[in-house]
Structure 1
Amino acid sequence: MDPAEVISERFPHVVDAVFHDERRAREAASALATKAGLSNEHIHVVEPDDPQRAEQLDPEPSEISRTLLRSNAALGVIGAVVGLIVAGILIGAGFDWATASPGWVYGILAVVGGLFGMLSAGIVSVRLDHERVLADTRDASTHGEWTVVAHAHNEDEKHRVSELLKEYSGTVTQSRPAEPSSPSTPSTS
C-alpha cells in the first residue's frame, strides 16, 4: 500500500530552498506562484528566527490527526488480515502446535499482525519524509537565512517546484525524493 493512500493531507509534499537575502527569496516565491501555478497559501517565506515557522512548515495540522486515525485503521486491519492469512498457512501446513489450537493461532496472529500494522501507521503518521526539509528550514532560520517553503499536491508538482527553485537557490531540499538513490543535488546559481 502506498503511504499516500493513508495520508489525509491535501498537499503532502514539501520543497524548500534556502536564501541568503530576502529579495532573492521573495523573487523565488513569486516565481512559484506565476510559473509553477501554486497558490500563495501553499508558498511560505520563512524569515530568520521566524516565530511562525512551525505553522508555515505544517499548514494542515487538522489533517495530521486524520492521517493518524486513517493510517491506524487501514494498516491495523491490513496487518490483522495478513496475520489471519499466515495463521491459515501454518494450520494448513499441518504444524502440530497450530492444528492443536487453531482458534488461538488465528487470534494471536491476527492481533500481532494488527499491532505491526498500527506500528507501521505510526511511522507513516510521523512523516519522516519531511524531516530533511524541517531540519534545513530550522537551521537556515537560526543562522539568519531565508527559506521558501512550498507545499505540493503530488510528485509531479513537487518535481516542478524543485526544478524551479534550483534556478534561484543552491540549496533545495524536498520531502521523499522521487529517486531514493539520488538525493536532491544543489545547483550552482
Structure 2
Amino acid sequence: MTGNPLNAEQASTKIAALFDTRSAANDAAERVCHEAHLRRGQVRLVHPYEAHFGRKLEPENDAIARTAVRSHLMMGTLGAVVGLAIVGILHRQGVEAVMDSPGFAIGAALFLGMVFGMLLAGLVTARPDHQLVITPVREAVQHGRWALLVHPTTPQQCNEAMRALRNTTAEVLRTA
C-alpha cells in the first residue's frame, strides 16, 4: 500500500495492536481479518516473550532490498540531475567559478548531487516511521503482552483494519 515509486513493498504500512491476553488478541485477529477482508498471512500474532519476531514485523525482506536498490538508483540520478541544473543556472548567471572551471563544476555537482540523493534514499529505505510500531511491540512482548500485527496492502484495508481495532481494548499503533 504505497503511492511511493521508490518503495517496492506491497504492505508498506504496519499496524500493531497490543493486548494483555491471548483470547483478546485472537478475537481481534479474527475481527480484523473479517472486517478488513485480509488474508490470514496479512495478520500475525506475536506471543509474549517471543524472541525472533522480526520476520512477522517485516515479512517482505526481498521487497526491502528492492526498495533499497530502486531508491538509491532513482534518488542518486535525481540528485545528479538537480546538481547539473544548479550548475546550469550558475553558468547562465555568469558565476566566475563555474565559468572558469566548467568541467570541475559539473563533476562536483554530479558527485555532490548523487551523494545527497543517495543519503535521502537511505532514509527512505530505513523507514524511520516503522520504529513507531517496532519499538512499542518489542517492549510489550518483552513484558508479557500479545501483539497483533496487520499488513494491509490497500488504503481501504488499512482504514477498515484501523476501524476494527479501534473497537477493541487494544493500544493501536500505525506507521505512515
TM-score, normalised by the number of residues in structure 1: 0.88
Find the aligned partners of 1:158 and 1:15 in 2 and give their Cα distance: 8
Residue-pair matches, total = 175
Tell me the distance in 1 between the aligned counterparts of 2:113 and 2:16. Answer: 37
TM-superposed deviation, 1:111: 1.1
Q: 1:149 and 1:94 mapped to 2: Cα distance?
A: 57
| Cα distance in 2 between the residues matched to 1:66 and 1:42 | 20
Query: 2:152 and 2:33 mapped to 1: Cα distance?
Result: 12
Q: Matched residues in 1 for 2:155 and 2:3: separation?
A: 13
Mapped pair 1:84 → 2:115: no
Deviation at 1:3, TM superposition (A): 7.4
Q: Which amino acid aligns with 1:90?
A: L
Corresponding residue number in structure 1 for 2:23: 23
Matched, 1:146 2:146: yes
Of residues 45-54 and 71-80 in structure 1, the stretch that sits farther from structure 2 once superposed is 45-54
TM-score, normalised relative to structure 2: 0.95
- Stretches of structure 1 that go unaligned for 5 or more consecutive residues are 177-189
Q: Which residue of 2 aligns with 1:171?
A: 171
RMSD over equivalenced CA pairs, Å = 1.4
Query: 1:155-170 to 2 correspondence within 5 Å?
Result: 155-170=155-170
CA distance in 1, matches of 2:76, 2:6: 12
Once residues 3 and 118 of structure 1 are traced to their aligned partners in structure 2, the CA distance between those partners, rounded to angstroms, is 20
> Between the two proteins, what is the percent identity of the paired residues?
30
- How far has the Cα of 1:159 moved from its partner? 2.7
User: 49-58 or 89-98, which moves further after superposition?
Assistant: 49-58
Report the equivalent of 2:126. Answer: 126
Greater alpha carbon shift after TM alignment, 44-53 vs 125-134: 44-53
Matching residue's letter, 1:137: V
Which amino acid is 1:74 matched to? M
- Partners in 1 of 2:156 and 2:93 — Cα distance? 46
Runs of 4+ that moved beyond 3 A:
none
3-state SS of the aligned residue for 1:8? coil
For structure 2, list consecutive stretches of 5 or more residues without a partner in the other structure.
none
Report if the CA contact (8 A) 1:49-1:141 is conserved. yes
Contact 1:17 1:169 in 2 (8 A): no
